Amino acid sequence: MIYFVTKNRHKYEEAKKIIKEIKILSLSYPEIQADNIESVIKFAIEYLKDKIEEKFFIEDSGLFIEELKGFPGAFSSYVFKTIGNQGILKLMENVKNRNAKFVSIVGYFNGSLHIFKGECQGKISYKIRGNKGFGYDPIFIPNGCKKTFGEMEIEEKNKYSHRGKSIRKFKEYLNTK
């Protein structure tokens, strides 16, 4: 059994569709404010590794908007809690370049740390669309799609998403062990 340490049920449901053999472990851990997601993951794993006896993983992600020089990036969770999707859309008013990407980092600990990264290129929509998923899903349109993540069911989102990609890389690693 491998535990997914998260309090975010949406993240767990997305991961469970790809790796059936996981179980949620709803534990709090410190999320440092750092300028890159990998540092956040490494700090959290270091904090958790002596508190959990079984193999476990965590996942963190960020939205990087090209026109905003990568903002909110590693601060995505804080920015979402502070200004939400409406705030991002306000920052993007009258902006033509709507290119953005989501980045997901999975940190897996089985006695040593393993990192898996997934990216999804896309654009910021002009308005909130859809009520599925969570966070920035209703304002992010992956390249090659007309729908936002917020308009997609989990299975469809997982085909494109940053998290789907990092979790699939993690699953490939597990299949070699």
CATH at residue 162: 3.90.950.10
Taking residues 69-86, report their average pLDDT.
96
Taking residues 113-117, report their average pLDDT.
98
CA angle, 109 then 112 then 115, to 5°: 65
CA distance 27 to 63: 24
Taking residues 109-117, report their average pLDDT.
97
Closest by Cα among 100, 135, 103 to 117: 103
Q: Which residues have C-beta within 8 Å of that of residue 144, sequence separation ≥ 6?
A: 160
pLDDT > 90 fraction of the chain, expressed in percent and rounded: 94
Taking the model in full, what pTM does it have? 0.94
* 98 close to 123: Cβ distance less than 8 angstroms: yes
Decide if pLDDT at 127 tops 90: yes
Boundaries of domain holding 71:
2-175
Q: Which residues have C-beta within 8 Å of that of residue 176, sequence separation ≥ 6?
A: none
Domain count, the chain: 1
| Alpha helices for the chain (secondary structure H) | 9-18, 37-48, 76-91, 154-160, 162-175
Q: Which two tokens stand for residue 11?
A: 């993240």
Express each pLDDT in 53-67 by its tens digit: 999 999 999 999 999
* Local confidence band at 177 (pLDDT 50, 70, 90 cut-offs): confident
* Local confidence band at 133 (pLDDT 50, 70, 90 cut-offs): confident
Decide if pLDDT at 105 tops 90: yes
Taking residues 23-44, report their average pLDDT.
93
Helix (H) or strand (E) holding 65: strand 56-65
Give the mean pLDDT of the chain: 96
Task: Give the residue numbers marked as catalytic.
Answer: 60
Decide if pLDDT at 71 tops 90: yes
